[in-house]
Amino acid sequence: VSDATRSPDPGARSWWGWGWESEAVSGDALAGVGALLAARFPRGPSPSEVSVPDPEQLDLPAVRVAPPSSLIGLCATDARSRASHTYGKSFRDVVRALAGDLAAAPDVVARPEREQDLVDLLDWCSGSRLAAIPFGGGSSVVGGVEGGAVRDRFEGVVSIDLTGLSGVVEIDSLSRAARIRGGTYGPALEDGLRAAGLTLRHYPQSFEHSTLGGWIATRSGGHFATNHTHIDDFVESLRLVTPAGTIETRRLPGSGAGPSPDRLFLGSEGTLGVVTEAWVRLQQRPRHRATAAVRFTTFDAGVRAARAVVQSGLFPSNCRLLDPNEAAGMDEKGRSVLLLGFESPSFAVDGLAATALECCLDHGGEAPAGIETSSARGAAGTWRGSFFKAPYLRDAVARLGWVAETFETSVTWSGFDALRAAVDVAVAGVLDPGPAVSCRFTHVYPDGPAPYFTVVAPSRAGRQLEDWQAVKDAASEAILSAGGTITHHHAIGRDHRPWFDRQRPDLFAVSLAAVKDRLDPAGVLNPGVLVG
Amino acid sequence: VSDATRSPDPGARSWWGWGWESEAVSGDALAGVGALLAARFPRGPSPSEVSVPDPEQLDLPAVRVAPPSSLIGLCATDARSRASHTYGKSFRDVVRALAGDLAAAPDVVARPEREQDLVDLLDWCSGSRLAAIPFGGGSSVVGGVEGGAVRDRFEGVVSIDLTGLSGVVEIDSLSRAARIRGGTYGPALEDGLRAAGLTLRHYPQSFEHSTLGGWIATRSGGHFATNHTHIDDFVESLRLVTPAGTIETRRLPGSGAGPSPDRLFLGSEGTLGVVTEAWVRLQQRPRHRATAAVRFTTFDAGVRAARAVVQSGLFPSNCRLLDPNEAAGMDEKGRSVLLLGFESPSFAVDGLAATALECCLDHGGEAPAGIETSSARGAAGTWRGSFFKAPYLRDAVARLGWVAETFETSVTWSGFDALRAAVDVAVAGVLDPGPAVSCRFTHVYPDGPAPYFTVVAPSRAGRQLEDWQAVKDAASEAILSAGGTITHHHAIGRDHRPWFDRQRPDLFAVSLAAVKDRLDPAGVLNPGVLVG
């Protein structure tokens, strides 16, 4: 991860796909992916390349609103701004962008430079019946930052790009906490903490392309595979701007004073307010590491070992179980692999790793390399490198006209086997030839794992979205029926909304709607997401 | 703790004071406490014993309501039922009970036997404008279960005693979780888990006298001094009855699907609904233990050591720093003592304890006995014994006509010194002679400690409540001004309400009120607490 924590040469972010424009799979590499797909699915249609359109050449809907003169300096209506704020980065988004479909573009992209700008923008939106779509890094893979779907219900759609409200403002080294603006990208956040020897150590796959405010709004999952996994646990206090006013919670290490205000806004996906600042809990940078890559003949044996480790009271920072597809190339016998890692700023962790490894060996694991004390090498390092590349590969599949989707959940240990079987059966049934499905655990809890599925399926240009939706529907239905959550860390957005509505208690939806009525009385904040 | 986890011979619970009637300090022991107080405060008024009245002989207000015939079998109006549900167990409550003041008694004490009874009772209360006061173990020390204050605003007050809705219903051993009814007292809960080798291991000081539902409603703090400290982290899902209907959340090890519904109800103190069941996360019973009692010449040095330990990434189950008053009798030189403890069901923890101890020695600590591996003995065991006795001693002080109060908070490490100084100064200034104030840390977090204060002050019968209020006001004001929370684990109730109202963001109060309007439209649930 160390590389990813440094600000890379910025280059340009892709307007149509994941991450950096320069990192997109193209040319021979793209053809290579096509050849691999064709070999894997000999019965499937041939992958065929879609080219990336030039946004300046695409049709954009006419701009319907004019910002007031006081805000005009913050507002852009150029083609590239609007195109790059039309969608997030879900598979559906990428396919629509590649198809040059920008009918969902916002009328205006607003870029507040100070918190007061945001207050003024929300006033304008509330007063003029404009949908206000908070937009951090825009890396949502669930349709969380898209105003197109509600375009016709509003006089206009304003995408509010928050990345101008960025920076580490204040560090409290004694309490190991920092006040950081919501629009700060992951690498800039870590850059701002490095001199103090501190780190948030929160690395969602989108780390380079998402912001602290986005992590908070979506309850993102991060680096740690056990114990404190979500950003929730690292938030000490929050500051939000809502159409009804500003909310700032008190910095507290712990509290029992009523329901937690922070927890009401964590996961609110921009529907109740916009996170402008947070105090977050930091760590010292780790100096001691120990990792092991444990092989299991069956995935089930790996499941039992992962469960035993996390129920033992050990807190590995990594406890990632990969099925043979996910572990491809890591084990010469094609076995499942459990990546175990421990780290600490202050004490050697070999002993803890040895205890965890012993536990795995008791469950039939084999660890040819034993425990390694440098995280940069070994199986874990290899895997981590491919982790940050994976979304670019997904885009390659999209460009080749096929379908790729990832989805994730969490479920009790007692419910996991049935859930996995249900997902496999459901996804296999929707397309012919059936998709390739792989599974890993991203996080594990004493009461259950967080399984993550990757699906790749043959499709044809023109049918991609239909085929993708069929996979999504089947998988989501299977997850819900088997007792899982519709998302463990990808958020709900528009894509997961139908299943979220079945998952949450009805009276909780009523409660959220009541809160929204008070904080966003005009109903302009990210309308259609979560509530209403 | 092992003794406290077994159901004791039930005996009778005290109607006027803490816990078991048989454990109240009386006779020679009470006189002994009086002598100690007199010696400690030679300038104070002499402690003089107040006798405990017989509730059958006291005046109770006339019962104003008649339950419908369908509910009459669940409803009691006898003197002892009403007297024992008039108050919780705060100092103010004890003084009022000892004074024979039962003007605040509920009209009816209802004891639902099934969830449907509770539904029917809430329907009756909503329809007849009766305040419904959820009452678990009734051990609130903050005025959280008292309907007297709103007596005149309602046609009647019904105290709903939930201890009939009790028992461990279902255990999922694979996922290490259990479904447990809200009215289950601590010891019965542990009894129900013991055969499965599992434990919730949540031991608030009220453990024997409070219920799972009460812990959830008040966000109680438990056994673990670091990492997962509050009941919040052990709740996998909840079931509540509200006047608007029943809410059941999904059992999930982790989730990022919108704001957490559980967290909206955790800490809602009976104002939004009544917890009838919860799935809670369990542990295997610990088999390995290692403890140390580290002495520090100054409290400040102990603070630095505790901070270093909790920021190291170690997770001691105990990391309780006692100032010399709290540690009285534990160290022959009258030093501050840091009680360190590690435990595990599955691996030896001596190594972790040694690492933590080394960290303490680096900060000037001394540990004459080194690391001990039996938790029943040593300084930690001694201290734990007195921990569960402490509330009986507080009642003794009340019976002697003096003032005793405990309050607690949490604050960042950078704010702690100023907070402690502010509390000491504020409390010292309100009475003459000034009270004795002692301080310990009950829990510690990477970003700050949870300090707990005990105050004992001379007073006179007739002035006790006034003097207590003066202490409470001064301490609460100091805590709020210094950036602390008005409660880390005692809840808000009526006693902390004025400071909670200053602590929480205004728009969060607006949000909670909006939720209450929907879930409790008649406003009958614990009125006056938290909202409205």
Mean pLDDT across A327-346: 94
Are A449 and B252 contacting, i.e. CB atoms less than 8 angstroms apart? no
Task: Residue B344: count other Cβ atoms within 10 Å of its Cβ.
Answer: 20
**Model confidence band, residue A11 (pLDDT cutoffs 50, 70, 90):** confident
- Which residues in chain A are closer than 8 Å to B219, comparing Cβ atoms? 255-256
Q: Could A250 and B503 be called an inter-chain contact, meaning their C-beta atoms sit closer than 8 Å?
A: yes
- Which residues in chain B are closer than 8 Å to A249, comparing Cβ atoms? 504-505, 508
A502, closest residue in chain B (CA to CA): B250
Mean pLDDT across B190-202: 97
CA pair distance B208, B198, nearest whole angstrom:
18
> Nearest Cβ partner of B244 from A249, A268, A507?
A507
CA pair distance B346, A148, nearest whole angstrom:
54
Are A282 and A178 contacting, i.e. CB atoms less than 8 angstroms apart? yes
CA pair distance A476, B506, nearest whole angstrom:
38
To the nearest whole angstrom, how far is the Cα of B265 from the nearest Cα of chain A?
6
Amino acid letter for position B141: V
B283, closest residue in chain A (CA to CA): A311
To the nearest whole angstrom, how far is the Cα of A137 from the nearest Cα of chain B?
18
Would you state the pLDDT for residue A328? 87
Mean pLDDT across B38-42: 94
pLDDT at A1 over 50: no
Are A263 and A278 contacting, i.e. CB atoms less than 8 angstroms apart? no
Contacts of residue B349, defined as CB under 8 A and 6 or more positions apart, other chains included, come to B288, B289, B290, B342, B343
Residue B485 has what DSSP assignment? -
CA pair distance B370, A321, nearest whole angstrom:
39
CA pair distance B356, B18, nearest whole angstrom:
36
CA pair distance B409, A254, nearest whole angstrom:
9
Over the stretch A120-129, which tens digit does the pLDDT of each residue have? 999 999 999 9
To the nearest whole angstrom, how far is the Cα of A30 from the nearest Cα of chain B?
33
Beta-sheet strand order (sheet of B448-457): B288-296, B336-344, B318-322, B436-445, B448-457, B403-408
Q: Which of A447, A476, A497, A529 to mutate to test the interface with B (most CBs of B within 10 A)?
A: A447
CA pair distance B47, B24, nearest whole angstrom:
17
Over the stretch B463-472, which tens digit does the pLDDT of each residue have? 999 999 999 9
Task: Write out the two tokens for A263.
Answer: 């927890």
pLDDT at A375 over 60: no
Q: Could B258 and A510 be called an inter-chain contact, meaning their C-beta atoms sit closer than 8 Å?
A: no
CA pair distance A435, A428, nearest whole angstrom:
6
Q: Could B252 and A484 be called an inter-chain contact, meaning their C-beta atoms sit closer than 8 Å?
A: yes
Amino acid letter for position B483: G
- Which residues in chain B are closer than 8 Å to A248, comparing Cβ atoms? 505
Are B85 and B135 contacting, i.e. CB atoms less than 8 angstroms apart? yes
Over the stretch A387-442, which tens digit does the pLDDT of each residue have? 889 999 999 999 999 999 999 999 999 999 999 999 999 999 999 899 999 999 99
Would you state the pLDDT for residue A377? 58
Would you state the pLDDT for residue B377? 58
Would you state the pLDDT for residue A10? 55
**Model confidence band, residue B375 (pLDDT cutoffs 50, 70, 90):** low
pLDDT at B395 over 80: yes
Would you state the pLDDT for residue A487? 98
Would you state the pLDDT for residue A216? 98
A447, closest residue in chain B (CA to CA): B175
- Which residues in chain B are closer than 8 Å to A491, comparing Cβ atoms? 256-257
CA pair distance A200, A220, nearest whole angstrom:
13
**Model confidence band, residue A383 (pLDDT cutoffs 50, 70, 90):** confident
Cis amide linkage into residue A505, ω under 30° from 0: no
Q: Which of B142, B504, B515, B516 to mutate to test the interface with A (most CBs of A within 10 A)?
A: B515
Are B232 and B43 contacting, i.e. CB atoms less than 8 angstroms apart? no
Task: Write out the two tokens for B167.
Answer: 């028992």
| DSSP symbols for B194-249 | HTTTEE-----TTGGG-BHHHHHHHT-B-S-SSSS-BGGGGEEEEEEEETTEEEE-
pLDDT at B4 over 70: no
- Which residues in chain A are closer than 8 Å to B241, comparing Cβ atoms? none
pLDDT at A2 over 90: no
pLDDT at A448 over 80: yes
Are B500 and B492 contacting, i.e. CB atoms less than 8 angstroms apart? yes
Write down the residue that tokens 């607690």 correspond to.
Answer: B408
> How many Å is the Cα radius of gyration of chain A?
23
| Burial of B194: CB neighbours in 10 Å, binned 0-12, 13-18, 19+ | middle
- Which residues in chain A are closer than 8 Å to B529, comparing Cβ atoms? none
Contacts of residue B374, defined as CB under 8 A and 6 or more positions apart, other chains included, come to B289
> Nearest Cβ partner of B488 from A227, A255, A485?
A255
Mean pLDDT across A359-365: 97
- Which residues in chain B are closer than 8 Å to A274, comparing Cβ atoms? none
B241, closest residue in chain A (CA to CA): A507
- Which residues in chain A are closer than 8 Å to B512, comparing Cβ atoms? 258-259
> Nearest Cβ partner of A281 from B315, B446, B518?
B446
- Which residues in chain B are closer than 8 Å to A250, comparing Cβ atoms? 483, 485, 503
Over the stretch B106-116, which tens digit does the pLDDT of each residue have? 999 999 999 99
- Which residues in chain B are closer than 8 Å to A269, comparing Cβ atoms? 258
**Model confidence band, residue A7 (pLDDT cutoffs 50, 70, 90):** very low
Q: Which of A119, A175, A416, A516 to mutate to test the interface with B (most CBs of B within 10 A)?
A: A175
> Nearest Cβ partner of B261 from A227, A443, A504?
A504
Task: Write out the two tokens for B278.
Answer: 């919860």
Total beta-carbon pairs less than 8 A apart between chain A and chain B:
293
Write down the residue that tokens 């040319």 correspond to.
Answer: A27
Task: Write out the two tokens for A198.
Answer: 């501190």
ipTM value, please give it: 0.96
Greater pLDDT, B10 or B380: B380
Q: Select from A307, A279, A66 the least CA-distant residue to B447.
A: A279
- Which residues in chain A are closer than 8 Å to B314, comparing Cβ atoms? 347
Q: Could A346 and B281 be called an inter-chain contact, meaning their C-beta atoms sit closer than 8 Å?
A: no
- Which residues in chain B are closer than 8 Å to A414, comparing Cβ atoms? 172, 174-175
Mean pLDDT across B135-144: 97
Q: HSE on the CB side for B246, CA within 13 Å?
A: 11
pLDDT at B511 over 80: yes
- Which residues in chain A are closer than 8 Å to B288, comparing Cβ atoms? none
Over the stretch A90-113, which tens digit does the pLDDT of each residue have? 999 999 999 999 999 999 999 999
Would you state the pLDDT for residue A381? 72
> Nearest Cβ partner of A345 from B175, B229, B313?
B313
B264, closest residue in chain A (CA to CA): A259
To the nearest whole angstrom, how far is the Cα of B451 from the nearest Cα of chain A?
11
Task: Write out the two tokens for A492.
Answer: 């709900």
Task: Residue A155: count other Cβ atoms within 10 Å of its Cβ.
Answer: 12
Q: Could B177 and A486 be called an inter-chain contact, meaning their C-beta atoms sit closer than 8 Å?
A: no
Distances (CA, A) of A344 to A288, A341, A367, B312: 5, 10, 22, 7
pLDDT at A270 over 50: yes
Average pLDDT, chain B: 95
Amino acid letter for position A359: C
pLDDT at B503 over 60: yes
Count helices and strands in chain B by DSSP H and E runs: 14, 17
Mean pLDDT across B242-268: 98
CA pair distance B223, B208, nearest whole angstrom:
14
| DSSP symbols for B28-93 | HHHHHHHHHHHHH-TTSPPP-PPPPPPGGGS--PPP-----GGGGGGEE--HHHHHHTS--SSHHH
To the nearest whole angstrom, how far is the Cα of A482 from the nearest Cα of chain B?
11
Q: Could B247 and A344 be called an inter-chain contact, meaning their C-beta atoms sit closer than 8 Å?
A: no
To the nearest whole angstrom, how far is the Cα of B179 from the nearest Cα of chain A?
13
Task: Residue A516: count other Cβ atoms within 10 Å of its Cβ.
Answer: 23
Q: CA-based diameter of chain A, in Å?
A: 70
Q: Could B414 and A174 be called an inter-chain contact, meaning their C-beta atoms sit closer than 8 Å?
A: yes
Greater pLDDT, B8 or A493: A493
The kind and range of the H/E element at A264 are helix A261-265
To the nearest whole angstrom, how far is the Cα of B513 from the nearest Cα of chain A?
9
Average pLDDT, chain A: 95
Q: Write down the H helix ranges in B431-505.
A: 464-481, 497-503
Would you state the pLDDT for residue A9? 53
> Nearest Cβ partner of B257 from A258, A344, A486?
A486
